Amino acid sequence: MFQTAEENLNAIAAIFRDDSDFVAREFQLPSGGSGAVVFIDGLASPEIINDFILKPLMNDAPISIGEAAKLDTIEKAAEVILDGDTVVFLDGFTTAAYFNTKGFPSRTISEPQTETVLRGPREGFTESMRTNTALLRRKLKTPDLRIESLRMGKRTRTTVCLCWLDSIAAPDLIDEVRKRIDTIDVDAILGSGYVEEFIEDDPLSPFQTIGYSEKPDVVAAKLLEGRCALIIDGTPFALTMPFLFIENFQSPEDYSIRPLSASFLRLIRIISFPVTLTLPALYVALVNFHSELIPTALLYTIAAASEGTPFSAPLETAVMLLIFEILREAGIRLPKPTGQAISIVGALVMGQAAIEAGIVGAPVVIIIAFCAVASFVSPTVSDAANLMRWVLLLLGATMGGFGILLGVLSIYILLASTQSFGAMYLHPIAPLSLKELGDTVVRIPMWMLKTRPSALRPQDKNRRSDDPKPDFSGGISPYGAEQ
């Protein structure tokens, strides 16, 4: 229960213990009473406070500000102050009021660096949660879009918004997400990765079971299929769930270009995954165990190129693979201009120098270079591929083709047994659903996509009516008149 303005001010000041950015301003009302406004410097806008709160109160005028509400505890007052709002205490009132005066700096909306497209929307999420929810509202102009605000982290008190379309998403999916979030008991939530590790199905799996995106149009499309999303304050990445394995090979641009071109590019991505996963292991297995499968001319070329190198094929491949991982990590962590220089120097100068010095053979450099390029085609699954590539390389070096086959079957069993919030990870391939393959390996025209993925258990299964696409093949004359 609130007391006088002075007592309330002392109570809230005791919570913040004279923090340098804690600001308290006392003022006198025209009626003779007193009051105080409290806020955090840097989180609240001084202009809004002066023009729309202090001046009206001191001149006995109504406060005209967008968002305001009552408070009944000092603890709640401290919480809204840390959100960037301003709390007003007045003598003679047992409640306080807070006003939306958020004015902290934030990054402007720009094109995401992780999901670049040649055609399609180029706006991306920022670190401001309200900016992100507004971007999502712009894509889904329907009251059916539900945005539920939650608090996570005992010390950070991070705001997290759970978003879904009420008439499409399965109610048990939303309940399951809420239940997993409620079990989180941690001091700090500083990014989407913190939340992901607490609520994902299989934290020890190399494959991610929760999707992420910086693009509002991508998140909107996933909500329209029956998924839900988590928008975390302070991070530009929104989490989407359930997440299916085929989503690793889908790009936002697939739905902005012609279906045939999109299908071809998607096939390239899908083929690149087993290539980057197994190519080094296959090379080692063929050279060490199955040289009879290599054409004779190519075998002579490989032998001539590897002549005089000090390492065996498995060790040679492992060393080059390790060098590639080091260069990749250096290129990512260094500033952008320096990182590009490191990549060029590493790929051209070091590779050529290693060949000329006789440390490694040219075939190994070609294999690792092609493997590296293939791993960049599908970035979301490249981390898992980088880990499993080493396992397959070890199996190929010790057991040859049988070891690689054993490793690939183990990976498939892992994928087939994985679930994401109740959805089978390999849907619609395992279990096989022929009628839902239209947006997996290939991308059929949009007018043929009539249903949503059944693995998501959507309430509304139909994307569009069953009416056939109108036939416009007859055309009109160049002047607009029928022939």
Query: What local confidence, expressed as pLDDT, does residue 477 receive?
Result: 55
Under DSSP, the state recorded for 468 is P
Structure token pair of residue 116? 């670049």
Residue type, position 282, single letter: L
- Structure tokens that stand for 279 in this block: 């190519």
Return the domain boundaries, the chain.
Answer: 5-99, 129-243, 255-417
Burial class (CB within 10 angstroms; exposed 0-12, middle 13-18, buried 19+) of 244: buried
Contact between 147 and 165 under an 8 Å Cβ cutoff? The reply is: no
Contacts 24+ apart (CB under 8 A), 305-310: 305/361, 305/362, 305/363, 306/361, 306/363, 306/364, 308/358, 309/358, 309/359, 309/360, 309/361, 310/358, 310/359
Q: What is the pLDDT of residue 62?
A: 82
Say how far apart CA 420 and CA 320 lie, in whole Å: 35
What's the confidence (pLDDT) of residue 273? 93
List, in sequence order, every residue forming a beta bridge with 90; answer none if it has no partner.
35
Query: Which pLDDT score is estimated for 474?
Result: 64
Cis previous bond, 242, omega within 30: yes
Is 450 in contact with 443 (CB distance < 8 Å)? no
Residue 135 burial class via C-beta count within 10 angstroms: exposed 0-12, middle 13-18, buried 19 and up: buried
Give the end-to-end CA distance of the chain in Å, rounded to a whole number: 82
Which residue from 160, 164, 125 is spatially nearest to 145, judged by alpha carbons?
164
At 173 the pLDDT is 95
pLDDT tier for residue 483 given thresholds of 50, 70 and 90? very low
260 has a pLDDT exceeding 90: yes
79, 81, 84, 85: CA torsion to nearest 10: 110
pLDDT tens sequence across 328-346:
887 777 776 665 666 656 6
Rounded-to-integer distance, Cα 461 and Cα 435, Å:
13
Band of residue 414 on the pLDDT scale cut at 50, 70, 90:
very high
Instruction: Render pLDDT for 200-246 as a digit per residue (tens, 0 to 9).
Output: 998 889 999 999 999 999 999 999 999 999 999 989 999 999 999 99
Percent above pLDDT 90 for the chain:
42
Q: What is the mean pLDDT of residues 146-165?
A: 93
Instruction: List alpha helices for 307-335, DSSP H.
Output: 313-333
Quote the CA–CA distance of 109 and 127 in Å, as a whole number: 10
What's the predicted TM-score (pTM) here?
A: 0.86
